[in-house]
Amino acid sequence: MRKEQFIREMDRTVKLVRTEYAFTQEAMAKALGLSKKTLVEIEKGRSSLGWMGAVAFSSIFSGSQVLSGLLGGEAEDLVLALAFEDLKPVYPRTMGGKVWWRTVDTIGRFRIQQNILSQHYRALDEENGRICSSFDLETVRKKVAECLNEN
């Protein structure tokens, strides 16, 4: 998944999440900081949330079952993978991937996991600290190798 696809998926899901939360268009527009007219245009496919709007939407409605089912859990990790693609952030600790993740490789003290729905990868250290996230397994393996060589 790339940013453009994420945005399209969030655009497509706005009405479903609005229904899930039993919000009127007015209430949903207020929650998202949009005009009702803009929300209607997004729901009809004539406008888009854009990157910032899609990130805000997925964050505000992080408890949504609709979004969890679409993204394979909360959107945060997917958003981080998309936002930090080609960047090198220092990530906070994770819960270790007990629900939406499967371990695909163990290299030294690192575990490489793949999200079962979105299919993106992440590397975790022995304390469940996220080392990196990417849709490319080789990119994650290279980052793990770099971390092993640093020590």
pLDDT in tens, 44-68: 999 999 999 999 999 999 889 999 8
Q: How far apart are CA 30 and CA 96, in angstroms?
A: 35
Share of the chain above pLDDT 90, in %: 60
- pLDDT value at position 98? 72
Give CA torsion, residues 47, 50, 54, 55, to 10 deg.
-160
Domains contained in the chain, number:
2
- CATH at residue 53: 1.10.260.40
Claim to verify: residue 13 and residue 66 sit in the same structural domain: yes
Claim to verify: residue 8 and residue 62 sit in the same structural domain: yes
